Amino acid sequence: MSHDARVDALDGLLKEAGLDAVLATKDASIAYLTGFWGLQMERFFGVTVRKGGTGALIAPSLDRDSVGQAPTGLDKALYDAAKTNGLPTLHDTLKGAKRIGVEEDHLIWARSKALQEAGYELVPASDLIMELRAAKDAEEIAAVKHACAQIIEIYEDLWANLQVGESEIDVNARVAYALARRGGSNPGPHILFGAHSGDPHGSPGERTLQAGDVIVADISAQFDGYWGDMTRCAYAGTPSDWAVKAWDVVKEAYDDAVAATRVGNTARDVDAAQRVVVEAHPEIGACLHGAGHAIGTEIHEPPFLVATSEIPLREGMIFTVEPGIYHSEIGGIRLEDDILVTADGPVNLSPAPLDLRVL
């Protein structure tokens, strides 16, 4: 689907939502609608879509060359960020529209307040935009699969070269560099050793790999605008009884959660499939998170595979499925792949061995 077709699809939702226009401000939404990726920082970037399909890509003149190359039929409205905050240009693009849908989970308070003071009625519209973004088309699916293919190659290099005595920080830096060399933006390796891997969001540090350590390697990066996100595990030496049991539990939870990632189920159903398995083994460790999250132009985007979500799964959605079990004094095990929801059942976009790799 072209970027202009996406704008047309969004326009088709405005009347039913009772909106005169939509303002998208997330990097990922701007890119989805126009093909343009900017570096926001303190400057204002946005896309307006009015009823009738008119609108504009708004950006500072600093980005004029990239904006000029964006594959969109929307107007391209540039402003001088040294002289204005961009809101007067935004007002020009709205052309009298009053009831505006905004990405309420992103638009900053100061800009929201300024728009309201200018007479606009702001309405939450993140769900409206995500209704389009959630189901990926064939090109988007291929892009996620390509990103995963790059990460699979990185794993082969990681396992071939990882040595006892290396530090987490050095290993993560090496993997981040390898991802960047392959064209990966925002490379995000998160590789932890031993007991530290029992803290799923622990920061890689000076800890060195020791014989008898479990390794949890969560590797992600964005290629051509789309993310891949995978996790694999290894062991330095002969795996302990705990590691073998933990891996078996997580693999069972992974299999059940993948099988549940299908049309007709809800996000909650997928989480329940893994949770019932992991929580049955408190002697091994704890279940600390949901089954996963949608992935696309953002690494974490809704819907989220958590116990509180009744959102139905639709064909074209892509989710990470990533059950894990964690023991603070021993370590963790997590397995993660990117799973496409299809009419015929789940399809793994990141096929690679899941075995507990022995180093």
pLDDT band at 330 (very low <50, low <70, confident <90, very high): very high
Please say if the pLDDT value at position 75 is more than 90: yes
Helix (H, G, I), strand (E, B) or coil at 351: coil
Please say if the pLDDT value at position 349 is more than 90: yes
Q: What is the per-residue pLDDT across 332-342, written as a single tens digit (0 to 9) for each?
A: 999 999 999 99
Q: Which residues of 57-87 are buried (b: 16+ CB within 10 A; e: fewer)?
A: bbbbebbeeebeebebebebbbbebeeebbb
pLDDT band at 325 (very low <50, low <70, confident <90, very high): very high
Q: Report the pLDDT value the prediction gives residue 121, as an integer from 0 to 100.
A: 97
How far is it, in rounded angstroms, from Cα 36 to Cα 292?
27
Strand locations in the chain (E): 21-24, 46-50, 55-60, 75-79, 99-102, 121-124, 190-193, 214-223, 226-235, 292-294, 301-305, 318-321, 324-327, 331-334, 337-342, 345-348, 357-358
Please say if the pLDDT value at position 347 is more than 90: yes
pTM attached to this predicted model: 0.94
How far is it, in rounded angstroms, from Cα 196 to Cα 198?
5
Q: How far, rounded to the nearest angstrom, does the alpha carbon of residue 251 sit from its chain's CA centroid?
A: 23
Q: Report the pLDDT value the prediction gives residue 95, as an integer from 0 to 100.
A: 84
Q: Report the pLDDT value the prediction gives residue 96, as an integer from 0 to 100.
A: 85
DSSP-derived secondary structure letter, 204: P
Phi, psi of 95 (to 5 degrees): 45, 55
The residue-averaged pLDDT of 214-236 equals: 98
pLDDT band at 343 (very low <50, low <70, confident <90, very high): very high
Q: Report the pLDDT value the prediction gives residue 340, as an integer from 0 to 100.
A: 98
- Beta-strand pair 190-193/214-223: antiparallel
Please say if the pLDDT value at position 289 is more than 90: yes
Q: Write the DSSP assignment of 4-70 as a string of letters.
A: HHHHHHHHHHHHHHT-SEEEE-SHHHHHHHHS-----TTS--EEEEETTS-EEEEEEGGGHHHHHH-
Q: How far, rounded to the nearest angstrom, does the alpha carbon of residue 144 sit from its chain's CA centroid?
A: 11
Q: How far, rounded to the nearest angstrom, does the alpha carbon of residue 149 sit from its chain's CA centroid?
A: 16
Q: Report the pLDDT value the prediction gives residue 1, as an integer from 0 to 100.
A: 81
pLDDT band at 279 (very low <50, low <70, confident <90, very high): very high
Mean residue pLDDT across the chain: 97
DSSP-derived secondary structure letter, 304: E
Lookup result for tokens 């002289």: 83
Q: What is the per-residue pLDDT across 6-57, written as a single tens digit (0 to 9) for each?
A: 999 999 999 999 999 999 999 999 999 999 999 888 999 999 999 999 999 9
Q: Report the pLDDT value the prediction gives residue 117, as an integer from 0 to 100.
A: 96
The residue-averaged pLDDT of 149-178 equals: 97
What domains appear along the chain, each with residue ranges and CATH number?
Answer: 3-133 (3.40.350.10), 138-358 (3.90.230.10)
